[in-house]
Amino acid sequence: MSSNSTQNHQPPTPAAHTQAGPFGHSRPPLLQQLPPPSTTHHLQQSQQPLMGYLPSPYLYHRTYDDLQNRRLTTNYDSVTPVFMQKAPSVGISIPPPPQQQLQQHQHQQHQQQHQHQQQQQQQQQQQQLQQQLPPVSGAVRKNTQEVMAKSIAERHRTRPIAEYATVVRQAEIAVLNMDPQNNSKTAIQLAEQNRERERQVYALLWLMKNCVSEPDSYVPRGRIFAQYAASCAQNSLKPLSQASLGKLIRSVFPHLTTRRLGMRGQSRYHYCGLRLVVDEPRAASLQIQSPPNSAEQPVVGRLEPAKASQSRSPSPEILKLEPSPITVGQYSDDYDMVFVEDLFKKVFSNDIPIPSEYSLKFPSIPRDRLPAGTDEDIVSSLESLYHVHCNTIFEHIRFMKFDQLENVLMVFGSGSISPQMYNLFISEPLHDWIRECDHITHVSLIKCLSRMIVDYQNVPVEVLTKLETFFKTYAALTAKATIDLPVPMVQKKNELIETFSRLVRKLVKYLRFSVQITKLLPNHRDMRQDWEVYMNLDDVLDIVKRDGYDEVIKIIKTFMTTTITELLDDLAAGEVRLDKFVKNYCELLSSIRDVPACKLMDGVTSFSRAFMADISLTLQQRGLPWYYLDMLSSLLVGYCFEINRFIS
C-alpha cells in the first residue's frame, strides 16, 4: 500500500465509543485511544474489528508479537503503557484502571507527607522541652536517691534503730508477698525501689547513731561494716554491700580520709577522722548472735506485729521451726532412732500461723577452732552475712520466689565477698558450722512446707506446680552456686539438698493424692458396713507376727480399730476428715517410745501387704476404696519416717 493511503488514514473518532464488537460489547477506551500506526502492516491490522472487554473466558488477549511489532514501528511504549489483561479466575478481582491506581498512589503519598509533618512537629516540641530543662544524667538520679534517703534518715534520727528496722522488714516482706500473676510489673518495681530506699535509710540511720566525726580518731574500715552487718542480722535485714556502705559513709562524713595503717604484712585500711561510739565488735557480735539458749528462745518475742497476740498464743515452742541442738546427731544408728515426740505439733500443726516476719536463729562461729590471729572483724562480718544468707534462702523458698533463688544462692561465691572473708569461709574449721546452719535452714523449711498436709484442700494447684519445678531444679542450682567451694563442703551441701528435695517430692505426691482421694471416697460410704462385717483382722496380724514384734502388733491393731474406724465414721456421715486422720496417726507414732522407727515401719509395711491381699479376696469388687485408703496410709507413714530422720 502506498504512502498516500497511509497519510489519508484517520484516527478513530469519539463516536467509536458507541460501536460494538462482533459479540455486541462496547470497545474498551484503552483500545480506542491507541495512536495511529505508521506502517502498512499496522494499518491493515487497525482495520480489523477491535474486540471489546469481554467477560471470561471470551476475553480478547493481545499477543506478544503484536506488541513487539508496534514498539518497533511506532514508538508506542514511550507514549502510553500497554496493560496486559488476563482472564480473571473465580475469586480474583480485576486490577483497577490506570487512572484509579494513580489516584490511590497520590492519596498514599499525601498521607505519608502528613504523617511525616506530624512527626517533625512532635520532635521539634520535644527538643524545645529538652532545651528548657537541664540535662539529668544517671549519676544525678543516683545522687537524688541518696539525698532523699539521707533526708528521711535525718527525720528519723531520734527514733530507735530497732524500731525503724521493723519498717525496713515490712518493705522486704511486701516484695516477697507480691505475686507476678496478681500484681503488675510496675507495682513490683515500685515495691523493690521502696525496699532498697528503706535499706539505705537504715544504713544511714545506723551510721548517724554509731559513728562520730573526730579529727584525731581512726577506725578500721572493715570494723564498721562488721558492726553494721551484725545489726542487720540481729533485725533480720539484708545488709548493703561493703562498697555501697562506703559510699554512704562518704555522704554522711564527707571530710574523711583513708589511710593504710598497721605493721608491715598486717596493715589495714582505716577511716581517719571517724570514731565508733562502741568500738567492741567481738562483744557486740557475741551478744547478738550467741544468746544463752537460742534453741529455747520464743520466736515471737522480738517481732513487733506479733506482740498484740502473745497473750492468747499457746507455748511459743510450737512456733519454733529450728531443730533443737540436743536432737541433732543424737542417734549413732538409724535403727535406734524413734519417732520424735509431739511429731504432729512440731511438724504438721497449723494452729498458729507463722508470722511473715519470722526469721531463723543460727549458732555463732566457734572462735576456739579458728587459727590464732584471725581478724575478728572478718569473723563477725562472715558470721552475720551467712546468717542473713540462710534466712534469705528460707524466705525465698517459703514465699515461692523460685525465679530469684539462683541469684540468692550465688551470694557466697568467690567473687561475691572479699578475698579475706572467702578464705575464712572455705577454711576447714568452719565446715561443720556451715553444715549446721544449712541443716537448720532446710529443717525449718520442711516443717514450714509440711503444714500444707493438714490444710491440703486450700493449697492451690499453682503452688504444687511450682514445688514440682523447684525440687527438680534445686540440686542443680545449688551445685552451680557451689562449684568453686572445697570438695568436702560441696559434698555435705549436696547430700543435704538432695535429701531435702526428696522430701519435697514426697510431700507433693501426698498432697496430690489427698486431693484425689477426697473426691473419690464420698462415692464409697458403704466402707463402714464392710468394715463391720470384716472378721479377719486377727488372722492377718498373726501373719505379720514374729519375735520382738509384739509391741508393733499392738500399735497396728490400735491404728486399725480406732484411727481407721473414726475415719470411716466420718465418711458414713458424708465427711472426709483427712486432717483428723493425719493428727491421730502422727500422735500414735509419737506415743511409741520403746520401739525403733525402722522396726515399726517394717511391721506396718508387712501388715499393709497382707491386709490388702486378704480384703481384696473378701470384698472382691468393693475392695477398690480400701486400696485408696491403704495408699494414703503408706504415703503418710513413709513421709513421717523420712522427715523424722531428717529433723533428728
Instruction: Indicate whether 158 belongs to any domain.
Output: yes
Contact (Cβ atoms closer than 8 angstroms) between residue 434 and residue 386: yes
Instruction: Indicate whether 500 belongs to any domain.
Output: no
185-198 average pLDDT score? 92
Instruction: Give the pLDDT confidence of 39-50 residue by residue, as tens digits.
Output: 444 444 444 444
Rounded to whole angstroms, how far apart are CA atoms 601 and 210?
Answer: 58
Helix axes 281-289, 221-234, angle to 10 degrees: 20
pLDDT score of 333: 57
Higher pLDDT pick, 124 / 225: 225
201-214 average pLDDT score? 93
pLDDT score of 131: 52
The reply to whether 143 and 279 lie within a common domain is: yes
620: left (phi over 0), alpha (psi -120 to 50) or beta: left
Q: Is the pLDDT of residue 321 over 80?
A: no
Task: Identify the three-state secondary structure at position 308.
Answer: helix
The CATH code of the domain that includes 220 is 1.10.10.10
Domain boundary among 234, 263, 288: 288
pLDDT score of 311: 31
pLDDT score of 148: 85
- The pTM of the full predicted model, rounded to 2 decimals, is 0.70
**80-84, 115-119, 569-573: least confidently modelled range:** 80-84
Instruction: Indicate whether 33 belongs to any domain.
Output: yes
The reply to whether 265 and 147 lie within a common domain is: yes
Provide the 8-state DSSP code for 136. -
Instruction: Indicate whether 428 belongs to any domain.
Output: no
65-87 average pLDDT score? 46
Instruction: Give the pLDDT confidence of 427-449 residue by residue, as tens digits.
Output: 999 999 999 999 999 999 999 99
Residues 6+ apart with CB under 8 A from 149: 197, 200, 201, 204
pLDDT score of 74: 46
**In Å, how far are 255, 528, 537, 614, 616 from 561, measured between CA atoms?**
80, 12, 10, 17, 19
Q: How far is CA 63 from the centre of its chain?
A: 71
pLDDT score of 480: 92
Range of the domain at 25: 1-56
Query: Sorting pLDDT into bands at 50, 70 and 90, what band is 96?
Result: low
Instruction: Give the pLDDT confidence of 488-503 residue by residue, as tens digits.
Output: 999 999 999 999 999 9
The reply to whether 50 and 148 lie within a common domain is: no
pLDDT score of 127: 58
Instruction: Give the pLDDT confidence of 233-274 residue by residue, as tens digits.
Output: 999 899 998 889 999 999 999 888 888 877 776 667 888 888
Phi, psi (deg, nearest 5) at residue 218: -150, 155
The reply to whether 145 and 278 lie within a common domain is: yes
Write out 4-49 in H/E/C secondary structure. HHHHCCCCCCHHHHHCECCCCCECCHHHHCCCCCCCHHHHHHHCCC
- Split into its structural domains, the chain has a count of 3
Instruction: Indicate whether 321 belongs to any domain.
Output: no
pLDDT score of 319: 57
395: which 3 cell numbers? 524466705
Amino acid occupying residue 466: K
Query: Sorting pLDDT into bands at 50, 70 and 90, what band is 182?
Result: confident
Q: Looking up cell 543424737, which residue turns up? A: 330
The reply to whether 256 and 153 lie within a common domain is: yes
Instruction: Indicate whether 123 belongs to any domain.
Output: no
**In Å, how far are 302, 324, 358 from 355, measured between CA atoms?**
12, 20, 5
Rounded to whole angstroms, how far apart are CA atoms 353 and 363?
Answer: 25
Instruction: Give the pLDDT confidence of 464-477 residue by residue, as tens digits.
Output: 999 999 999 999 99
Instruction: Give the pLDDT confidence of 352-371 residue by residue, as tens digits.
Output: 888 888 899 999 999 999 98
Instruction: Give the pLDDT confidence of 270-304 residue by residue, as tens digits.
Output: 888 888 887 544 433 433 333 333 333 333 222 23
Query: Sorting pLDDT into bands at 50, 70 and 90, what band is 584?
Result: very high
The reply to whether 44 and 147 lie within a common domain is: no
Instruction: Indicate whether 432 belongs to any domain.
Output: no
Query: Sorting pLDDT into bands at 50, 70 and 90, what band is 335?
Result: confident
**In Å, how far are 13, 221, 289 from 46, measured between CA atoms?**
14, 104, 110
**In Å, how far are 207, 241, 552 from 602, measured between CA atoms?**
61, 53, 9
Rounded to whole angstroms, how far apart are CA atoms 97 and 488?
Answer: 85
pLDDT score of 169: 92
Instruction: Indicate whether 172 belongs to any domain.
Output: yes
